Structures are given as structure tokens and as C-alpha cells.
Amino acid sequence: MTEKPPGDLHDEGSQWYDGEAGPLVRPYAMTGGRTQPGPTGVPFDLIALVTLDPAAPGMDGDSALGPEHRTLIELCRTETQSVAELAADADLPVGVVRVLLGDLLELGCVTVSRPVPPAHLPDERILREVIEGLRAL
Amino acid sequence: MASEHVEAADDISALALKILVAGGFGVGKTTLVGSVSEIRPLRTEELLSEAGQLVDDTDGVDRKVTTTVAMDFGRITIRSGLALYLFGTPGQDRFWFIWDELSQGALGAVVLADTRRLEDCFPAVDYFEHRRIPFVVAVNCFPGARPYGAQDVSRALDLDQGTPVVLCDARDRDSGKEVLIRLVEYAGRMHTARLLDSVS
């Protein structure tokens, strides 16, 4: 081991990393270095709901989409997902998911709901529904 | 236009509501989320970049380009198109800026307290009081902890009058449900009171 100079680490399939080493791809490499969503620039809330647009253009062979984009699309295919769920299920940091969702929104693949504005709590009817729903759990 | 897509989603009127679960380290936030959630608590990671470096002076992490803060969350589906999301907030004070994002549009918060170290929940109480976010204090009754009444806790925390204090067992689903019901009721009352204030 120690006889080898550091430069030889890649020789003979020598594994200098393992499962404990963490990600070898910098997270924002998946977004081409972007840390903010594209021109639309809407910061998606953690509970913003992402729905696959049924009228979305065919995504097969679209070179604008990376594997992580496709993962998100697949996760949305079965049901509407929140941004937080997408991040957890795709095992990607929320910041990265936001950028990727910005791409998908611009391409017209998904729709994203707006969060409830702070001053506008849902009306009483909804709150009563929530309380009754919780009681019934 | 992208904005049209955003509006299109409103047509299906799917609504997600957010409740925060705050409190000191190890007080049972994730336990509470887990006991009421219909899904195993999921974990999201938020990357800390410049914002984090300003407040993060921990030695030895400066070689990392980014570091992460984890948040556990759960979900309760009330009906199709109406879901409640519960977020356990990061316990460490240095992650306040994450709270600002989390509390945007939140219905309210549960501040979990342990009477053996009540001071751990002071920052959370201050935070929600200053931002006028409706919250309830849920005292997680750990076995072996001396039992206190809700009144005692309310006085010790110097809570505003009307802020509910609930004794609970974070491991118990029914107990957790009760805490959430009290919070939603209280959030509704606060909201109505503010509406009345604004028209008078």
C-alpha cells in the first residue's frame, strides 16, 4: 500500500473511495452548476405540488433532460408529489431538485402549484375538514 | 409562458398544508412526525452554501464545498387533493435561515417541550411569537420526568394568553393527533381574530 506513490491510486482498479466516502459528484454538477431555477425563477416551496402534464411533449430522446430529470418525471407519473417528497425519493438535495424542476416547468413537462401565501390561510371550511379528517384517522 | 403552467395547477385545486414541528434537540420531533404520519418519515437534505458558511463556524468543514442540513417530514392525507405535511425543523440554532423558508405559508407550528430542559424550546417559542405564526406547546411527557400541569408550563414559558399547552406522548398516535387538532383549531381562531381586527 504505502509503497505506491499517490499518483498510482487509479492503477489496477484500486478503490480509493467506498460507500462511506459520500457522493463523488458535486451536487450541483447535476444542474450544470446552476444553483437557482431558470429564468422563471420561482422558488418552489417544499410542499409545492408537482403534477406531470398529460399534454407534455414526448420526452424520449430529449437530450436536454438528464437522468435526474427523468427520475423526477418517473416519480410524478403515479401521483402528484410535493417537492419535499421528490427530493427524498430521488435522494437528491432540495436545492438540486428545485433547479431540475425549473427545467421541467420550462419545458412544459410539469405543473407546479403555488404555496398558500402567508397572509391567506385556507378558509374555515378547509380547516374544519382537516380537523374532522384528523379525528377520523 | 411558465406562469400559465403554475396557474393551471390551481384548477385541480390540490391543496397542501404545512405544519412545523420545532423544539430542542432530542425532544421527540421526528417521533411525533412518525407517530401521526401515514408514511415512514422521509428525510430531505438542504444544501448549505454561502448562507450556511456565514453562520457555520465549525472547524474542519471548511474543505467541504457544501454541507447539508436534514429535515424529517411526514404526510397525512385528509382526502384526495388535501394533504397535511409535517416538517421537523432542524434543532440547531445555526439553521434559523431554514426555518424562515419552512415557515413561509405554514398553517402553524407545534413546539415540543421537555419539562426537564424547558429552556431548549425558548428559541422556538420566541421565533413563532415574533412572526405571529400560530403555535401550540406540546409537552412531551417523558417517563420519569416530574409531571407539570399545562398552567405551570404556560407560566414558565411566559406564553401569550391563549397559546394552548397540551400534554402529550409523542410516541402515541392518538396523542399526536390531538396535538394537531388543537393546533388547527387554534390557527383557525387566530386567523378569524385577525380578519376581524383588520375590518374594525
B17 within some domain: no
Question: pTM for this one?
Answer: 0.79
B9 within some domain: no
Cell readout for B175 is 396523542
Cell readout for B144 is 420519569
Question: Nearest C-alpha of chain A: how many angstroms from B46?
Answer: 5
Do residue A110 and residue B5 have CB atoms under 8 angstroms apart?
Answer: yes
Classify A111 as helix, strand or coil: strand
Side-chain half-sphere of B184: how many Cα atoms within 13 Å? 26
Residue B159, phi-psi category: left (phi > 0), alpha (psi -120 to 50), beta (remainder): beta
| Exposed/middle/buried for residue B197 (C-beta within 10 Å: 0-12, 13-18, 19+) | exposed
Q: Is A116 on the interface with B (CB under 8 A)?
A: yes
Q: How far apart are CA B17 and CA A11, in angstroms?
A: 53
Comparing CB atoms, the residue among A95, A105, A121 nearest residue B47 is A95
Backbone phi, then psi, for A82, in 5-degree steps? Answer: -80, 160
Do residue B44 and residue A94 have CB atoms under 8 angstroms apart?
Answer: yes
Which of A24, A49, A80, A137 is the best substitution to test chain B (most B C-beta atoms within 10 A)?
A137
Q: How far apart are CA B114 and CA B96, in angstroms?
A: 21
Q: Which residues of B touch A133 (CB under 8 A)?
A: 76, 78-79, 82
Quote the ipTM score. Answer: 0.80
Q: Is A36 on the interface with B (CB under 8 A)?
A: no
B121 within some domain: yes
A116 to A33, A123, B83, B96, B200: CA distances (angstroms) = 30, 11, 13, 21, 25
Please write the tens of the pLDDT for every residue from B11-54: 346 789 999 999 988 899 999 999 999 988 888 887 765 444 43
Please write the tens of the pLDDT for every residue from A26-39: 778 888 878 777 66
Query: Residues of chain A whose pLDDT is less than 70?
Result: 1-25, 38-42, 56-63, 115-121
Do residue B188 and residue A105 have CB atoms under 8 angstroms apart?
Answer: no
B186 to A7, B163, B170, B176: CA distances (angstroms) = 64, 8, 19, 15
The answer to whether the beta carbons of residues B63 and B46 sit under 8 Å apart is no
Please write the tens of the pLDDT for every residue from B99-154: 888 888 899 999 999 999 999 999 999 999 999 999 999 999 988 888 899 999 99
Q: Which domain holds residue B101?
A: 23-199
B7 within some domain: no
Comparing CB atoms, the residue among A89, A128, A130 nearest residue B84 is A130
Sign of the four-CA dihedral A86, A87, A89, A90: positive
B15 within some domain: no
B134: domain CATH number?
3.40.50.300
Would strands B108-113 and B15-23 be described as parallel, antiparallel, or unpaired? parallel
State the total domains in chain B. Answer: 1
B4 within some domain: no
Q: Looking at domain A24-136, which of 2.40.50.140, 1.10.10.10, 3.40.50.10490, 1.20.1250.20 is its CATH number?
A: 1.10.10.10
